[in-house]
Every structure is written in C-alpha cells, then in structure tokens.
Structure 1
C-alpha cells in the first residue's frame, strides 16, 4: 500500500506533510512524535489510517533544524496555526507519543474547541504527584540519569561541541534501544530535556496538570522498567465515558513494536461514535 494524496506545506517555518483521504472535509489526525524521532515515526500509522482519515505530520521544530529550543508557548502557538490552516472548520484528532504527548496535551487543554479526541502513546500524567509517589528511588534515579545525560548533551552540543553532544545522544539512544537509525539522531533533539532540567526556553514550570476535556485513547507499553503514567490516572481514564486504555506487551515505541495491534486499536476507537462527556 502506498500513501495517497501526499503534499507538503510550510507553516511558520515548519514543514507539515499531508496525506490520506478527505483533507479539509473529513477527520484530520495530527501526529506529534517525541525523542529522538521525526515525522518518519508515523510512516506505518499513515499507511494504516490513510484510507479513512487525513493525516498531518511534522518534525518538531529544532529536532533537525531551526531554533535551538522551542518553548511551550511557542509550540502551542505553532500547533494552533497548523490546525487552523489545515482544518479551519473542524476540530482535529491528536495522535501523540513521548514529548509529543506533553506538547499536545498542553495544546489540547489551551484550545479544547480545536481538538475532538486524543490518542496518546506511553506518556500520561507526566507531571502529577500521583506518578511521582509511585516511582521508587530506583525509578527516580533512572529517569533523572538518562534525562540529565540528554540535557547535558544538548547543552554541550549547543554551546561547545555538536559532535560530542551528538555522540552522547546516540550512545543513550542505543542504551534505551531506540529504533530510530543512529544517523538520524543528534543532540538537537534533546532540548525538551534541557527544558525539563535546565529551564531552557522557559522550561515546563507553567505546564498544566493533564486533564483533558475530550475523549482519550491511551496506549502504553507494559514491558518497561518504569511507567510514565500513574495507576490512578490510568483508572480514571478507563472509567471516563468515551475514553479507553490499552496496554501492549512491548516497550516505549508501541507503534513500531506492535504495529498491527496498535493501528487496529486506533482505527476501531476513532471509528466509534464520539460520546458527549457533558451528558455523562
């Protein structure tokens, strides 16, 4: 199967790749990746959804070129421009992974009328007290260790030696068994970690606690040393009318490790009628 109706437009300096059916008239799915990926992460997902939905993808600004870091406000402003341009008359579906979840959640909470549903992969209530309480000392040290390493790699690459920063980044990607080819990975992709730990671009101190006004499908990998969601949040999501959760026997990159199960779940959930939460 090949991707249909492929086109690229540039919005505020960011390329947005548009593929699939019904662009401008049907439901549009906007896909946001995380570290250390690009819009290529969603190649298989576009193939799975293109006959039913219009698919829009972008590589996060700064991950390949452009600004050294994009603040949370700037990212939300960019996403608003993209959504208003590609789907001016209808709310879109957000399909999110990793850091794409963090940026996408914030956009959805700031602009709830522009988002009809959210599919989030492997990152849930990332900044909640419930999650922090569930992590033990081992989990906290593991998270801090790899994230600080990547934050420092970004800082070194940004200010002193791009080659050193990139070598550090690729070493961590190998250790985390990231499926992205090493030659596509650089220190540029680490700026969200620098935002988290070093306060770059204003950091995430103003990020809201994750509470979405629209239905959510949350899919996560069950085989990881620690989770990026709390059990309390998972139960609340599962009990919310119109929302659902799905755990799959794999790691962080669910769409790569279990593509058939993941894509079937996304299609089935998006094909189901939307429930009005206000009437629940």
Structure 2
C-alpha cells in the first residue's frame, strides 16, 4: 500500500502496510529518494515512511533550527504511528537530528538504524581525529556553510561542485545552497547552532550502526564502536562502501538490518 500525507507543509510518503513502522531520515545533499532500495526491501514487512528534510527541497529556504526539525519529526511520528514506537533509519545529518529526537522522545522510538554518522559530536570523536582529518572536514564543510549565506547561482554552483568532488549520490540538478543550513549551524552558530544536540551515547534503545570503510576519515570514534559492540541488543557492521552505505551496498545492508530485526522478535 502506498499513500501520502502532509505534515506541517511537508509531504510524507508511506509504502507498505506491515505491523511496524520505519521512519527514514536522510542527510546532505539528499532527499527522501535516497532510501529507494530500502523501501523496495522493507515495504514487504514494514511501513516505510519518508520525507525530505525541511528546506532541502527549497533553494530559498530560511533554514530550520534543531527544535523545528525535531518538531517536524515528532509530527510525522505522531501522524503515522500514534500508538506504537517506530524504528528510526538515519543517515548523515539525519543521524544527528534523529539521535536528538530519540533522546528527547524515547517513548516514541523502539530502535535505531544509523548509517555512517555516530558520536560525531562527542569529545571521544574529537580526540581521535588527526589534524589531517580535521582539516579535510573543515575544507568542505566551511565552504558549504558559506553557500547558505550566498544562496543563488554562486551558492548553488559551489554546493554542487563540492557534492561532485565528494561523489555524492544525489543528482546535480537537485542540489542547492539552501540545503547547507546545517553546516551554517555547525560552523557559524546559525539558527541557534547545534550545541543542544544529544548524541547516540545518550540513547538507551538498541542501535544497529553501519559505516563505510572506503573513506578518508570516519564519523565515529573507536571508543564508541567498542562500547556499542559490547552492548546487548546492539550491533556494529562495517561495509565495503563510501559514506552512502545504503546505496553502495544496498543488498548487504538491507539483509544485515533484516537479520538484526529478526533477532529482536
């Protein structure tokens, strides 16, 4: 069963009619479409719920604070699963916003599947990063932060050029500077900044964490991976993939998550 609904002006797509609901949150520079292979796989057993993060489909967006993004997620979860907890499936910025939501609304979240961004706002992660990795992160994230202030043709060109260099999966025509507001939050404190964000270390629900090996640096600390691996009900799995594990290794990722789900029945 496929259906759509509107929550706070955002179009929400629902596929499948299984007894449990998966809410999927993407990152930069993607839209709800990045989860196509997951929907194809999980709609036979679950209800798959997707939407594009606010502003990611609007090049003239004003940007959205952490609290506004979390309020939207809450509205979607309440609309699609008012009486049952959901599974969050997260990637990139979707991880950061999703972890915060799960920490604030633990009564709404049964478990979390996170892809390639873990405890990236933790002291352990900062300590682990080499100066080369810190420089590389700054070298692409700061220009993206600036594109949000530029907007227009120049901002779009810079954002698309960075996305091309990083081998992002989104089509160039769909990438615009308006998507960059999370980076402006990160580096310039725009829209209230990100200091309020809770990380995965603050969650008590089970977590499946997938990350790609084929990258110049990681977005999680080894300390957190070891702790997560030793936690009952949780799982860590590395894939021969880039940052977009769920695209590069879709079949392996989907099967691994399904197996993890089955262990929890």
TM-score, L = length of structure 1:
0.92
Aligned residue in 1 for 2:75: 81
Aligned residue in 1 for 2:235: 244
Alignment of 1:89-238 (within 5 A): 89-157=83-151, 162-210=152-200, 211-238=202-229
1:214 is displaced (CA, Å) by 0.3
Aligned residue in 1 for 2:36: 43
1:250 is displaced (CA, Å) by 1.2
- Provide the secondary structure at the position in 2 that maps to 1:125: coil
CA RMSD of aligned residues (A): 1.0
Q: Distance in 2 between the 1:271 and 1:58 partners? A: 26
1:81 is displaced (CA, Å) by 1.1
- Provide the secondary structure at the position in 2 that maps to 1:90: coil
- Provide the secondary structure at the position in 2 that maps to 1:208: coil
Residues 216-267 of structure 1: CA deviation (Å, up to 9, x unaligned): 0000001110000000000111111000000001110011111111110111
Aligned residue in 1 for 2:15: 19
- Provide the secondary structure at the position in 1 that maps to 2:153: helix
- Provide the secondary structure at the position in 2 that maps to 1:104: helix
Runs of 5+ consecutive residues of structure 2 not aligned to the other structure = none
Following TM superposition, where does structure 1 have runs of at least 4 consecutive aligned residues deviating by more than 4 angstroms?
A: none
Aligned residues between the structures: 263
- Provide the secondary structure at the position in 1 that maps to 2:256: helix
Q: Distance in 1 between the 2:199 and 2:28 partners? A: 21
2:14–2:48 Cα contact (<8 Å) kept: yes
2:208–2:234 Cα contact (<8 Å) kept: yes
1:67 is displaced (CA, Å) by 4.1
Cα–Cα, structure 1 residues 67 and 153, in superposed 2: closer, same or farther, change >3 Å?
closer
Q: Distance in 2 between the 1:81 and 1:67 partners? A: 20
Matched, 1:9 2:9: no
Aligned residue in 2 for 1:277: none
1:68 is displaced (CA, Å) by 2.0
1:76 is displaced (CA, Å) by 1.1
Q: Distance in 1 between the 2:197 and 2:264 partners? A: 30
TM-score, L = length of structure 2:
0.97
Task: Give 1:70's match in structure 2, choosing from 64, 71, 80.
Answer: 64
